[in-house]
Amino acid sequence: MTTAAHTDARLIVERRDDVLLLTLSNPAMRNALHPDIYATGTEALLTAADDPTLGAIVLTGAGEHFCAGGNLNRLAANRSQPPALQRDSIERFHRWVLVLRRCPLPVIAAVEGNAAGAGFSLALACDFIVAAESAKFTMAYVKVGLSPDGGGSAFTGRLLPRQLAAELLLTGAPVDSRRLHALGVVNRIAADGTALDEALALAQSLARGPRAAHGRIKGLLDAAGQQPLERQLDLEADNFVDSLFGPEAAEGIDAFRAKRTPDFPRSPT
């Protein structure tokens, strides 16, 4: 979290071929978040989900850091307002996180420097994390007497051993990219200054894959562990049959049998 004044916090949305690049831009404040960013991010993701020419999304931060989380000056000011104001702000952030999580496209976080508080939550909401070797991740909420938002407790609780999740949330101690990589939370370690390049390369590779299958797989992963095995198996059967009789499987199977690289269709399925 940061205590500097809010200055021009925005989300830059740009296209790199068939990859959508979202850049948290407020570098003077280490890319601290603001409600305007949530609205732009939600709209960008919903639009991307309906664009058959896009295949993957990368989320990164401008400058030397990924995201410092919330703006403490704004939070302090909100303490003099009705609690409903802060509740509304969090719910807009949470809508962005849910849309990000449910987006049918693979989403990759490219992390340089610090990912703190809600910034760490945002990275964990992505499907992949590519982190610079010196990157640091911190659930900093407890340092100022707060509890997590943005799915911080949900994601750490699911992805990490209980003791490590408790350590991160209860002490606010940082964890480095190497430790998270060893635990399987960070997918790839990049040399400092190259996390975005590595993430874009991964995104381009994913973008050539079967878009509809990616969306089905993401849905299955989110459902796993939240329902009885029998229901998960039914969901797998439904998705498999839908996939098999779709154009992606037709191309994929034909390509495999012909020993060629598949050229998956980019039209809606």
Summarize pLDDT for 182-227 with one digit per residue, the tens: 999 999 999 999 999 999 999 999 999 999 999 999 999 999 988 8
The per-residue pLDDT for 6 is: 43
Alpha-helix residue ranges (DSSP H) falling in 53-176: 72-78, 83-102, 118-125, 152-159, 162-171
229 class by beta-carbon count within 10 Å (0-12 exposed, 13-18 middle, 19+ buried) = exposed
Residue 200's nearest CA partner among 9, 11, 22, 10 is 22
Range of lowest pLDDT (57-61, 69-73, 97-101, 262-266): 69-73
According to the model, what pLDDT value does residue 3 have? 32
pLDDT of residue 82: 85
11: its two tokens: 């989300």
Query: Which residues, in sequence order, are CB contacts of 237 under 8 Å at separation 6+?
Result: none
Structure tokens at 253: 């199977």
CA 162 – CA 178 distance, rounded (Å): 19
Task: Tell me: pLDDT of 7 over 70.
Answer: no
Report the chain's mean pLDDT, rounded to a whole number. 92
Residue 226: CB partners within 8 Å, gap ≥ 6? none
Q: How far is CA 96 from its chain centroid?
A: 10
71 confidence band (pLDDT: 50, 70, 90): confident
Q: Which helix (H) or strand (E) holds 175?
A: strand 175-176
Please state the length of the chain.
269
Give the bridge partners for 115, in sequence order: 67, 137
pTM greater than 0.75: yes
In the numeric block, which tokens belong to residue 207? 């973008």
Q: Summarize the confidence of residues 65-76 as an average pLDDT.
A: 85
User: Which two tokens mark 30?
Assistant: 């280490």
Across the range 234-254, mean pLDDT stands at 96
Q: Are strands 175-176 and 10-16 parallel, antiparallel or unpaired?
A: unpaired
In order, the DSSP letters of 133-160 are: TT-EEE-GGGGGT----TTHHHHHHHHS
Measured distance CA(71)–CA(170) in Å, rounded = 20
